[in-house]
Homo-oligomer: A and B are copies of this chain.
């Protein structure tokens, strides 16, 4: 597999100069378009990687997988569904239009910004710190890496440039979807978006999701099998913004992308995959990441469909 990954990294580099780097935050803007890396963590505890695997990156929207896991643990699917739907949206990740035009103003799914904000509201905690720590702990448990945390500089940038997310949160508050304190919820939202990790970390986290919620390296059932399937289903229909459908058709692996350049994917009962490549296409998904997922899915028959 190592050889195949090397080849995949190599051929995906061909396309990265066409894309753009997320630039709304200074630190993200310093990323190098040419960086491409991949890590694969199998459910039987093997790890393979290739390319630029030593870079720490901002996980950005990939964090929405972890807030969803926490909310499912704390509130369960049925309660969550009262605040957030699980329908793919066909809209941009930061759109407010659907919130307004849908009858009950529920965000369409936990992976658009509005849905992630509402989902964070369903994590039970006495305050913002406890809420953030719950998400951070899940991430640490899923990566076997207790050093992971958020990047202070990115977090401060997120807060500074977060007006549209504030708009979304206040809209949800006004519509009765968000019952918690807006500033508290946003604080957690900005912090989890600012969490940093490396390729192996994210491949391990994806492997837990691939392994039905059981941790490959110690056998602990961290997330219930049922919740894990829910997470995978939402990743499959809504994980790549308004590019989710094409990804399902061409790759068919439940996945989640972030504008920091990371994509994680969970091939059920086979492997967790993490790719990094900060050059993004017009939908905000990593160009190299999509190409590597496509090759991998074809080579190892990973599509769930």
**Whole-angstrom distance between the Cβ of A197 and the nearest chain B Cβ:** 24
Return chain B residues, CB-CB under 8 Å to A163. 170-171, 173-174, 182
CB distance from A105 to the nearest CB of B (A): 10
Q: Which residues of B contact A108 (CB under 8 A)?
A: 90, 245
**Chain A at the B interface: mostly helix, strand, loop or mixed?**
helix
Given contacts A100-B97, A305-B254, whether A87 and B246 have CB atoms under 8 Å apart is yes
Q: Is A96 an interface residue (CB 8 A)?
A: yes
Contact A171 B245 (CB under 8 A): no
Contact A305 B236 (CB under 8 A): yes
Interface size class of A (residues with CB under 8 A): 35 or more
Mind listing 21 A-B residue pairs with CB under 8 Å? Answer: A77-B249, A85-B245, A87-B90, A87-B243, A89-B90, A90-B90, A90-B91, A95-B100, A96-B96, A101-B101, A108-B245, A162-B174, A164-B171, A167-B173, A230-B249, A233-B303, A234-B245, A234-B249, A236-B236, A236-B248, A268-B304
Which A residues are within 8 Å of any B CB, using their own CB? 77, 81, 85-91, 95-101, 108-109, 161-164, 166-171, 173-175, 182, 229-230, 232-234, 236-238, 242-246, 248-249, 252, 254, 268, 303-305
